Amino acid sequence: MGSGGREHALSWKLGTSPRCGSLFCAPANAGIALEPAVTAVPSLDVADNAAVVAWCKEQGIGLVVVGPEQPLVDGLADDLRAAGVRVFGPSAAAARLEGSKSFLKDLCAEYGIPTAAYQRFTDAAAAKKYAASLGAPLVVKADGLAAGKGVTVAFSVEEAHAAIDDALVARRFGDAGAEIVVEEFLEGEEASFFAIIDGETALPLASAQDHKAVGEGDTGPNTGGMGAYSPAPVVTREIQEQVMETIVRRTAAAMADRGSPFTGVLFAGLMIKDGVATLLEHNVRFGDPECEALMLRLESDLLELLLAASEGRLSEASAPRWSEDASMTVVLAAEGYPGDYKKNTEIRGIKRAEAAGASEATRRGSKAETPAKVFHAGTSESKKKSGDGGKEEEDVVLSSGGRVLAVTARAPRVADAQAAAYAAVDQIDWPEGFCRRDIGWRAVGK
């Protein structure tokens, strides 16, 4: 379920499983629809739980994988399970880990999960008083889902006060900002860590690091992510063990203890300083664009892994196998993003880009069967007619979102994956698009 780069990567990887029979994606995008193993279902509304359940029952679906967070928060997994349809993804109660910042922070406090000091507020004056006591920098978060725009890192108390007013007085985020969390600012290096949980057992997946800022040098406004690479060198083996013990397993145990066992992918956003990881936030699905980088490195059968989790059998499953290679994703976005941007602009050269990325990755030592892949994040297909008697040309791809393509490559080192990814980027003909040219800067040379 879904239509972004994450769902393209998951569909592509699921389609490689020997156990995969019929594979559908709803509503999908142009790239997903072009995958030979996938049938796109653009007419199915993923926000209509009853329609999704009815369609899955009619088709005899054996496993549903829910990509984005909103359907999970809205209880899609609950409705599917109630109808006897196997699903990979948490219940609405467990999805509160992402759907409510207040819920997560209170859970951390109760179960000793390391996180920033905080308080919750519905009153602006009280929130401003606490913000002043913390001093700048500090962080103001809308409690609910706000399309990635509900978090403000304030570098002055005045900026924090303005963010508080935005949420609680101006109601900029609607009900999602009716309550806010004000918390201390944590210093260090950010990274993402993913684990898979079946309600009780938690298995580590892999680390990644994304780039939120729109501009090179991590400048400009934050976005949904302009690129990512995996693994993140800052997440050492020792830090991974600490994260699994003090964050992932404690979270899983806490949710089981609360009567809302978590099944799905737990995405821990971390701040790492002096060899210690602290939790910034949890997400209840694969990250995007991290997922694209992860799927190119994963050597295990993804379908078998998700099936085991959905059936509560992770304790019997083998640990996922990952390539020693690094992988990198560079996002191509529409000019103007994350502000206003044009849609329906034509994109050419995607196949040429994949060939160029694969050639460069192989030249640098990659032995992967698929060393480069262009995942679609915000695209639609259109037929274009030539001027020669109206003869129809082959399909062309049109942009339909802000983040449009996720160009991904895999090679022995981060610098190699970076070179291959940009070799692919340079073959894409899309004058209305742009990308950052410094993805992976923290890890190049490591």
pLDDT in tens, 405-429: 999 999 999 999 999 999 999 999 9
Assess if CATH 3.90.1300.10 describes domain 189-316: no
pLDDT digits (tens, 9 = 90+) for 263-319: 999 999 999 999 999 999 999 999 999 999 999 999 999 999 999 999 999 999 989
Share of the chain above pLDDT 70, in %: 97
Q: How far apart are CA 271 and CA 67, in angstroms?
A: 25
pLDDT at 23 over 60: yes
Segment 362-373 mean pLDDT: 96
| Domain boundaries defined on the chain | 5-89, 117-184, 189-316, 326-434
In the prediction, which pLDDT does 146 show?
A: 85
Please return the burial class of 324, using the count of CB atoms within 10 Å of its CB with bins 0-12, 13-18 and 19+: exposed
Q: Which CATH number fits domain 117-184: 1.10.287.370, 3.40.1030.10, 3.30.1490.20, 3.20.20.70?
A: 3.30.1490.20
pLDDT confidence tier of residue 384, bands split at 50, 70 and 90: low
Q: Please determine whether the domains at 189-316 and 326-434 fall in the same fold group of CATH.
A: no
**What is the C-alpha separation between 200 and 99, in angstroms, rounded?**
21
Rounded CA separation 16/20 (Å) = 7
Please give the CATH architecture assigned to the domain spanning 5-89: 3-Layer(aba) Sandwich (3.40)
Q: What is the mean pLDDT of the chain?
A: 95
The token pair that represents 331 in the structure block: 């996002």
pLDDT of residue 437: 97
Q: Would you say residue 387 has pLDDT above 80?
A: no
For the cut 90, the answer to whether the pLDDT of residue 99 exceeds it is yes
Tokens of 400: 């339909």
For the domain covering 326-434, report its CATH number.
3.90.600.10
Q: pTM above the 0.85 mark?
A: yes
Residue 386 has pLDDT above 70, yes or no: no
Find tokens 């079946």 and name the residue.
198
pLDDT at 446: 66
